[in-house]
Structure 1
Amino acid sequence: MNPSEPSVDRPLRIALLGCGVVGTEVARLLTRDADELARRVGLPLELVGIAVRRLDRDRDLDVPAELFTTDALGLVTRGDIDVVVEVIGGIEPARELILAALEAGASVVTANKALVAEDGARLSAAATKAERDLSFEAAVAGAIPIVRPLRESLAGDRVQRVLGIVNGTTNYVLDQMTTLGQGFSEALEEAQRLGYAEADPTADIEGFDAAAKAAILASLAFHTRVSLGDVHREGISDVTAADVRSAAEMGCVVKLLAICERTETSVGARVHPAMIPLEHPLASVRGAYNAVFVESEAAGQLMFYGPGAGGAPTASAILGDVVSVARNRVREIFGPGETTHADLEVIDVGRARTRYHVAIDVQDRAGVLAVIAQEFARFDVSIKNLRQEGHGSDAQLVIVTHEAEDASLAATVEALRGLDIVRDVSSVMRVEGGI
């Protein structure tokens, strides 16, 4: 048979797991754009089943009622499904259902960042064994195409660093604090009122969501298996209005960053708030938008920007994967899977090299600067800038360091807290992006 000729000549059957905000939009696009999608794939895409928890829930979706089922496992294992789209989220039963779908011969498209970050190796191995696709463009940064560029477009290049604003909730909160001078609690309440933050915003605010995405980005970029447990995580709940003001005085803004880096022999991934200079492209990312900044050896600096969440943007990324996977099914091939050939050492945050902005409340007396400087020197941390604000009981030193190992910086801060002349180390924040 000519390899350019399709080996499948029937409609491709799609099963959808989950029908919340994203799932509803996926089903709507599959039905509304059926003719256009058929032309792009080469065969019609037929939505044959939607697994939900409750059948009696009202849904704003014009599809036959008989498509809905509560038997998700029965749907994915019925034997005639070509592509399973998973948008239920969480670890279980999503993992069980994806593995069952692959074993039954279906390719899988998922938006499940937590599962891919935690157990991507197992899922990828199952897809390879089944000779089926596992695609997850929507798991990172919503509508922004970043998974496929890292996995395919940059496959011939050497990616050195990935910096990302990959959580819209935290970016909105920090943007409100920056532009309107709001405190953290006030900005978070506004985000919840507008629907940018969940009633329980812990996963976003404490960096869990961004950490899962960082694990995926690092694994793709550096061809090394990086799990969720390998990612250092800090959230934004301790960021204060004073931190935001200090950043502005330095010509910076505060962002929650996912940072993935490689050296010749190692890789590392971390998520934490950081000050970045206003001239850095990520500094201009406003509101609930996401952006990923990639630095590679040959291509140089690349920026991917757009809406990072929401039903329609996420569904757009999912449908892109569905079209790609469906094209492969038409010709009975499967695309690139996990590549871990580099197998570099995954290091903890202590060995990462960064800079610190440290605000120290001190006693205003002779010799304080010398004692403080001695502590920095003791841990081999060089001071770049130092200024004193206030006098007497309001005296504060603000120090920006040169780049040093994170562990050395942390040890310096711990030593400072033990000095009699230090009333408090009131703020500690990393500085990224070059100032």
Structure 2
Amino acid sequence: MLVNVPQDSDFSIHNLPYGIFSDSVNTSKRVGVAIGDQVVDMSLLAKSGLFSEIQGFGGQAVECFGKDCLNEFMGCDRRVWVAVRKELTDFLQNENNRVRKALKNGGSEVLVPQSNVTMHLPAKIGDYTDFYASKEHATNVGVMFRGKENALNPNWTMLPVGYHGRASSVVVSGTPIKRPCGQRVVSKGGPPVYGQCMKQDFELEAAFFYGGKENKLGEAISMENARDHIFGMVLMNDWSARDIQAYEYVPLGPFLGKNFGTTVSPWVVTLDALEPFLTQLPEQDPKPMQYLADGAFGGRGETYDINLMVGLKSKSASSYTTVSRSNLKYMYWSIKQQLVHHTINGCNMRPGDLCGTGTISGPNDNSLGSMLELSWNGTRNVDIGNGETRIFLEDYDSVRLSGYCQGDGYRVGFGECVGQIIPATPMF
């Protein structure tokens, strides 16, 4: 093995996630793959000829992996993704690999320590859609604002509800998020006032990048073909201004309460890496319409067993305190169902388009995926360690999302998705 990988590393040989990086020696943004505490420079491997024999891709590999985004590689056929993964795995594991033997330093020259790199947004995101696919989260929010009897709207169990977000404000982990300003209601039934958000929140989400050939406008993607159009997944924090959102969301839904910032983790974990962790969806009642029906697991449909955590840290704290532990497997609507429904009306998707799952909450109080739920809309304090509590986020609070699948002696992880709230700048 070219790189020694500890058992608790997110980036085992079973993972090999893709990202865009640069370093102090080479400031050009280019494609990398994480392995242990190293980054494989895919542009150097391509120049060394590792991918030259892949039919339909070898001729474009050097240009593709030298780009500052993953869009071109995301747009390749899934057969290419599988072939590249196979070649890379052999290079890392096999001392007799033809390219590894030809390199002067036995392959180590294509490695860059992660401690020396800067990570960038993995794709140029043309469009961004966020779903509302967790039944626990949707029920909790419904109970708060509509009462237990009307918690879920009638259409919620019939289709994956979603809204179109703002692609331009999607940022990579580590980017500060400025507290937004807008209109909010201070007292129930009173008039709105302008000012900074007072109910700043995070949302624990996962997201997937669309891949493969673009479906033509007017053509839908079927459930049978959906997997071939999902390149991979990231962690996502869809920051929310709850008071701004509460005033504006009727009649058209999220707008300024959502579009001021969305943070994603830098490493894209492929579905091939997640394949061993497939598990069945929660029971869907009523049964989905035929176009949303997934035959996996005896007709229950498939999702992934991904452990998810949220850590919160104040400006004065030295470490994060875990405030939530959830799992993607709790989600009611799968990512395949989300994609299929997204295109059932003929909406065309393009490589690099981003789709979020919505907040992923579990069945217990310690598995809630937002401060709105953890504090039950500000009625109970959340212990964040260091002798401090919160009901919503304060300035200079940092939020860290993390997640991994646990294998037998190895992990397939996502790294971290981190953001810090910085003070608002009122416009007037």
Give me the TM-score of the superposition, normalised by structure 2. Answer: 0.24
- Higher RCO structure, 1 or 2 (CA under 8 Å, sep 6+): 2
| Larger Rg over CA atoms | 1
What TM-score does the superposition give when structure 1 sets the normalisation length?
0.24
More helix by share: 1
